[in-house]
Amino acid sequence: MRELARIVGDDCTVEIDTNSYSVPRRLIGERETVAAGEVRIRHGMREVAVHKQSEGRPQRIVDSAHLDGVAGRNGAVCRPAIATPTAPAPLPSLLHPLADYQSV
């Protein structure tokens, strides 16, 4: 069994032998201890993720619970639709023929 130090990437994963394994999003940028074989990821003394080591390469092994709170985790980032602004109808008292403006 190997023990490695890895930094959690922006995609909530650590890389081992070209495979990516997910960790909870709150650990992005943190240095983690990774034990290869059965992939066990520790933050300090606490185990934060366990994955079966992938046989193939390159694979992405993700526990969807690790992505809670990540924008776009279920596909594209969803934004509420923005209504197209409509101009209010002009008041009839403000409408004048162009000839009125030319005479001024």
User: What ranges do the domains of the chain cover?
Assistant: 3-62
- pTM assigned to the model: 0.60
The average pLDDT across 85-104 equals: 74
Q: Taking 60 as the threshold, does the pLDDT of residue 8 lie above it?
A: yes
Provide long-range contacts, Cβ within 8 A and 24+ apart, for 69-74: 69/25, 70/12, 70/25
Mapping DSSP to helix (H, G, I), strand (E, B) and coil, where does residue 64 land?
helix
- Quick one: how far is CA 92 from the chain centroid? 51
Average pLDDT, the chain: 80
pLDDT per residue over 25-50, tens digit each? 889 999 988 876 788 999 988 999 99
